[in-house]
Structure 1
Amino acid sequence: MWTMAPTATPRRATFQRTTSETDITVTLDLDAALSLPPATGHGFLDHMLDALARHARIGLEVQATGDLHIEPHHLVEDVGITLGQALNGALGDRRGIERYGSAFVPMDETLAHVVVDLSGRAHLAFEPERLDVWGTAGGMTHYHLREFLRGLCNHAGVTLHVRLLAGREAHHVIEAIVKAFARALRDAVRVTSDGLASTKGLL
């Protein structure tokens, strides 16, 4: 059983998701910075959310609790879902946005490439799950990142392709992917026209 309480103004939205496993509130502003740092109870997840906000140059506040005594899976996935809902709400009808974004990010031995399409259609192609990525980052693995991104894509209507061109250590792999996603998202959400970037006339 979960509840969702949306509020939205142009390019800004707040969503709350409450289940028996997690309680999460996300506020997203695509045009202005927000002041509160992420607070999920999981240090590495907070670090990644902060990196997402900084590199996407968006305002992001996340307040969350979850069953971390079990493992991070439920919290990470549900934060992705709620962030996806907030992104969808903040985008509105998506009129005027650039729609597409692409970014490469290196991190020492690691190189990640992420391509974003704010198409209104959900799809995640996550290449690192087929590779030999080892270790964890604060108990978080690249599989947790996959579920975070899957939840975001499904609830924001985003097509996302994630490629890992080099790297094997989980901390650097996860961080490079998150930063590449952030920088691709920064380009995709930019308002560059008065119309819709679609021959269908709908995103």
Structure 2
Amino acid sequence: MRKAEVTRNTTETKIRLQLTIDGTGQQSIKTGVGFLDHMLELFVRHGRFDLTLVCDGDTEVDAHHTTEDVAIAIGRAFSESLGERRGIKRYGSMLLPMDEALVMTAIDISGRGMAVAELAIPSEKIGQQFDTELVEEFFIAFARELGATIHLHQIAGKNSHHIVEACFKGFGRALGEAVAINQAAPDEIPSTKGTIQ
């Protein structure tokens, strides 16, 4: 099974996590930011990953460091679990409706870390702690650490919670597809270069 354990300690956050890629969607997530916990639970469930994560962050300041550092740690866990990326499908995409919201998510585990988020989230905050600008920060950090190109494009939506939920659910589905083993070529690195770095 493809698994990783990551510990990341800084002056701003202390994170411990265990990830199993080939899971069933089981999770125990405590970041100190309720909305982020909710989004990560959706991500894990829809990707069918197993994740145990605890973060002790400086949420008395705001949720920025916690959100970014959690993304770094999870992205690192995926990178370590995938190793040299042998056998993965590499690409995944999802067009996900969440009530009135519709978001297209696509990922290429290419070795090149970047995220493009074209989102028009109406409110500046969801709940007491979560600034909606942190959605893009999460995916930038995740993409950089995994070495993946991630696109999030909002097609419709007026409710901030629904838009962000569509992003995380869609990303879970797209990433689940990308990390799945290609049964037609389970031992191949999916690149004409022969490497994904």
- How far is the alpha carbon of 1:60 from its aligned partner? 1.1
Where has structure 1 moved over 6 Å in runs of 4 or more? none
Identify the residue that residue 174 of structure 1 maps to in structure 2: 164
1:134 to 106, 119, 123: 123
Write the distance in 2 (CA, Å) between the matches of 1:66 and 1:44. 15
Identify the residue that residue 184 of structure 1 maps to in structure 2: 174
Write the distance in 1 (CA, Å) between the matches of 2:8 and 2:160. 28
Change (3 A) 1:31 1:110: same
Identify the residue that residue 112 of structure 2 maps to in structure 1: 121
Structure 2 residue identity aligned to 1:182: G
**Which moved further from structure 2: 60-69 or 137-146?**
137-146
Identify the residue that residue 158 of structure 1 maps to in structure 2: 148
Identify the residue that residue 56 of structure 2 maps to in structure 1: 65
Tell me, yes or no, if the aligned pair for 1:141 and 1:170 is still in contact at 8 Å: no
Give secondary structure in 1 for the equivalent of 2:35.
Answer: helix
Write the distance in 2 (CA, Å) between the matches of 1:132 and 1:45. 16
Which ranges of structure 2 fall in alignment gaps of 5 or more residues? none
Tell me, yes or no, if the aligned pair for 2:25 and 2:44 is still in contact at 8 Å: no
Write the distance in 2 (CA, Å) between the matches of 1:174 and 1:109. 12
TM-score norm. by structure 2 comes to 0.92
Tell me, yes or no, if the aligned pair for 1:125 and 1:162 is still in contact at 8 Å: yes
Give secondary structure in 1 for the equivalent of 2:85.
Answer: coil
What are the Cα deviations for residues 131-170 of structure 1, in whole angstroms up to 9, with x where unaligned? 3522422232331111111111111101101100011332
Identify the residue that residue 94 of structure 2 maps to in structure 1: 103
Give secondary structure in 1 for the equivalent of 2:29.
Answer: coil
1:23 pairs with 2:8: no
Aligned residue pair count: 192
RMSD of aligned C-alpha atoms? 1.4
TM-score norm. by structure 1 comes to 0.90
Tell me, yes or no, if the aligned pair for 1:112 and 1:166 is still in contact at 8 Å: yes
Structure 1 residue identity aligned to 2:57: G
Change (3 A) 1:64 1:199: same
What are the Cα deviations for residues 62-83 of structure 1, in whole angstroms up to 9, with x where unaligned? 1111111111111001000111
Tell me, yes or no, if the aligned pair for 1:136 and 1:171 is still in contact at 8 Å: no
Give secondary structure in 1 for the equivalent of 2:130.
Answer: coil
Tell me, yes or no, if the aligned pair for 2:126 and 2:132 is still in contact at 8 Å: no
1:195 pairs with 2:188: yes
Structure 2 residue identity aligned to 1:30: I
- How far is the alpha carbon of 1:34 from its aligned partner? 7.2
Structure 2 residue identity aligned to 1:136: K
Which ranges of structure 1 fall in alignment gaps of 5 or more residues? 1-9
Write the distance in 1 (CA, Å) between the matches of 2:81 and 2:133. 27
Residues 39-118 of structure 1: pairs in structure 2 closer than 5 A: 39-118=30-109
Write the distance in 2 (CA, Å) between the matches of 1:88 and 1:132. 29
Tell me, yes or no, if the aligned pair for 2:26 and 2:44 is still in contact at 8 Å: no
Q: Determine what percentage of the aligned residue pairs are the same residue.
A: 40
Structure 2 residue identity aligned to 1:202: T
Write the distance in 2 (CA, Å) between the matches of 1:164 and 1:189. 23
